[in-house]
Amino acid sequence: MSDAGERPAPALWLAAAREGLFAFGVLAAVGIAASVAVWLIAGPAYGFGVAVRIGAMYLGAFHHVPIRIEGVFDIGRLTGGVLPNSDAPTQGTSFIEVGVALLAVTALAGWLLFRAGGRLAGSADRPWWRSALRGAGPAPVYAAAMLLVALLVRIEEPFGLGRLVEGNVRVSMAPLPAFGWSLGVAGVAGAAGGAWSSLRRHPHGRAAAALAGGWRMLWVGLALSYAGLFVAGVVQPDGAVAALTPSTARYFRTVFEHPEVGAVILPHHLALAPNEAAWTLVPAIGACDVVRGTEEGDLVCLRGSSSPTGTPVGLPAGYRLFLLVPAAATVLGGREAARRLGSRGRAGAGAGALAGAVFAVLLGATALLSGVRLVYGATVGSQGGGGSLWIGPQVVISMLLGLAWGAAGGALGGATAQIRSGTATRSAGSAPR
C-alpha cells in the first residue's frame, strides 16, 4: 500500500520507469550526437548507420562498460609494443577490451538521476532510507535499457590499416557489465537524490551537514586539481604537462595540426577533464596513480614514482604545492558542514570530521570510475600473448588517505567556521554543492 496522500504504487513504478528512460534517452542522444558530429567533421569511410551505432557504443564509455574490439591483427604491432606480453605469437582472432568512463558525461547522468530520485522521493516526512529506496527506482529500467543496447548493437565492418589490421573488425559491449555498471551508477545517484530530498528538510541534521560538506570537499578538490594542471602547463610550456589541458600554445599546435582531427580530439579531451582532475587529486593526498596487472608500477606520486622496471622517476619540487589542494578543499568542506549544522568549536569540528568520512567514500568512487581497465589477447589459440591492466588511481588507499585528510581538514574548518545569524544554513530547498 502507498502512503496516505501519495500516488499508488503502480503510478510510482510508472513514474520511476519514465524517469529512468528519460535519463537514458538524454545520454543516448549525447552519444549519438557526438558520433554523428565526428562523422560529419572527419568524413570517415563508414556510413551514417555505423555512426549511429558508434554513438550507441558511447553509452558504454559513459558508464565504464568494457568495449570489445575483435579482428585479425597483431596486438603488439598495432599498439607499438607498449602493452606487456603483447608480442608473443598468437593464432586466430585477437581482441582488445577497454573499460573507461568519460566522467564529464557520467556526471551528467548522475545529475539527471539525482534530480529524478529527489522527485520520486516526494514530500512526505518519511525516514531518509525509505526516500533513498524510492529515489533508486529508475535504476532497474535505466540498466535494462543499457542491457538491451549491449545485446542488440554490434558493429562489424571491413577495416584495413596497412598490414596491421585485415578483414572485418567487430565492436561490441559486454552485456553483464553493461547492466551492472549502469545499475550501480543509476542506483547510487538516484538513492542519493532521494535521501537528500528527505535530509534537506532537516537542515540542522548531522547527516545533511556531512553530505553537503563531503560533497564540497570533493568538487573543490577536483576543481583546484584541474586548475593546478592549467598553471603547471603555463609554467612549463615545453614540458609534457603542457599537453594535458587546452591551456597552452603547444597544446593547440599539437592537437590542431590537422584541424579536422583536432576538432574531434578536443571535445573528447574535455569529456575526460574530470578523469584528469581525479588523477591529479589522488597523488595530491599522498596516494599514487598506478599500473596493476600483467605489469606493475607507479605512474605518478608526489613522493616520486617508479617505472615498471623499478627505475625511480622524480617530480619537480614545485609539484609539492599540490598538497595545498586537499588542505584547502577539506577545510572549506568542513566549514560548509559546520555552517549547515549551525555550530562551531567542538561541535563544528565534529561535523567537519564527519564530512571527511563522506569525502573518503566519494573520492573512492571517483577513483574507481576514473581508472582504465584493459584486457587483450587472442580468442583462439593464444600462445602466451595477452594480459590485463588496471591504469589509474589507487582506490582503497585513496579512500584511507582521503579519510585522514577529510577528518583533519574538516575538523579544522568546522572548528573555525564563522556562523552568522540568519545565514548559518542553506534554505530547505537547496541541494548540496
Q: What is the pLDDT of residue 311?
A: 46
Same domain flag for 428 and 389: yes
Select from 432, 427, 4, 433 the least CA-distant residue to 201: 427
| pLDDT for residue 189 is more than 50 | yes
Q: What is the pLDDT of residue 2?
A: 45
The domain containing residue 382 runs over which residues?
203-433
Q: How many residues are given for the chain?
A: 433
Q: Average model confidence (pLDDT) for the chain?
A: 84
Band of residue 88 on the pLDDT scale cut at 50, 70, 90:
low
Share of the chain above pLDDT 90, in %: 52
Question: Cα–Cα distance between 370 and 329 in angstroms, integer?
Answer: 19
Pairing of strands 289-293, 387-393: antiparallel
Is pLDDT larger for residue 167 or for residue 198? Answer: 198
Least confidently predicted of 107-111, 318-322, 355-359, 420-424: 420-424
DSSP string, 350-409: HHHHHHHHHHHHHHHHHHHHHSEEEEEEEEEEESS--EEEEEEE-HHHHHHHHHHHHHHH
For 5, phi then psi, to 5°, come to: 80, 5
Contacts of 91 (CB under 8 A, 6+ apart): 378, 380, 381, 382, 383
352 assigned to some structural domain = yes
Report CA torsion sign: 184, 189, 194, 195: positive
Whether residue 217 contacts residue 332, with contact meaning beta carbons closer than 8 Å, is answered with yes
Is pLDDT larger for residue 315 or for residue 38? Answer: 38
2 assigned to some structural domain = no
Select from 89, 128, 163 the least CA-distant residue to 381: 89
Question: Cα–Cα distance between 277 and 62 in angstroms, integer?
Answer: 17
Same domain flag for 191 and 213: no
37 assigned to some structural domain = yes
Same domain flag for 227 and 171: no
pLDDT tens readout for residues 105-152? 999 999 999 999 999 987 667 788 889 999 999 999 999 999 999 999
Band of residue 3 on the pLDDT scale cut at 50, 70, 90:
very low
Question: Cα–Cα distance between 226 and 229 in angstroms, integer?
Answer: 5
Same domain flag for 102 and 238: no
1 assigned to some structural domain = no
Instruction: Out of 199, 230, 261, pick the residue that ends a domain.
Output: 199
Distances (CA, A) of 91 to 375, 380, 388: 17, 6, 19
Distances (CA, A) of 277 to 14, 142, 271, 356: 38, 28, 11, 19
Q: What is the pLDDT of residue 241?
A: 82
Share of the chain above pLDDT 70, in %: 82
Instruction: Out of 146, 171, 199, pick the residue that ends a domain.
Output: 199
CB-neighbour burial class of residue 92 (10 A; exposed 0-12, middle 13-18, buried 19+) = exposed
Q: What is the pLDDT of residue 261?
A: 81
CA atoms within 13 A on the CB side of 287: 27
pLDDT tens readout for residues 323-348? 899 999 999 999 999 998 888 788 89
> H or E stretch including 256?
none
Query: What is the number of structural domains in the chain?
Result: 2
Instruction: Out of 199, 229, 261, pick the residue that ends a domain.
Output: 199
187, amino acid identity: G
Ramachandran region, residue 303 (left: φ > 0; alpha: ψ -120 to 50; beta: rest): alpha
Same domain flag for 175 and 220: no
Select from 128, 126, 101 the least CA-distant residue to 4: 126
Average pLDDT of span 61-75: 87
172 assigned to some structural domain = yes
Same domain flag for 182 and 219: no
Say which residue the cell 595540426 belongs to.
Answer: 257
User: Is residue 431 helix, strand or coil?
Assistant: coil
pLDDT tens readout for residues 155-164? 887 765 555 5
pLDDT tens readout for residues 297-314? 888 887 655 544 444 455
Average pLDDT of span 349-369: 95
Contacts of 309 (CB under 8 A, 6+ apart): 297
Q: What is the pLDDT of residue 427?
A: 40
54 assigned to some structural domain = yes
Select from 183, 166, 172, 127 the least CA-distant residue to 149: 172
| pLDDT for residue 235 is more than 80 | yes
Average pLDDT of span 181-209: 87
Band of residue 167 on the pLDDT scale cut at 50, 70, 90:
low
391 assigned to some structural domain = yes
| Cell numbers representing residue 315 in the block | 617530480
Same domain flag for 391 and 317: yes
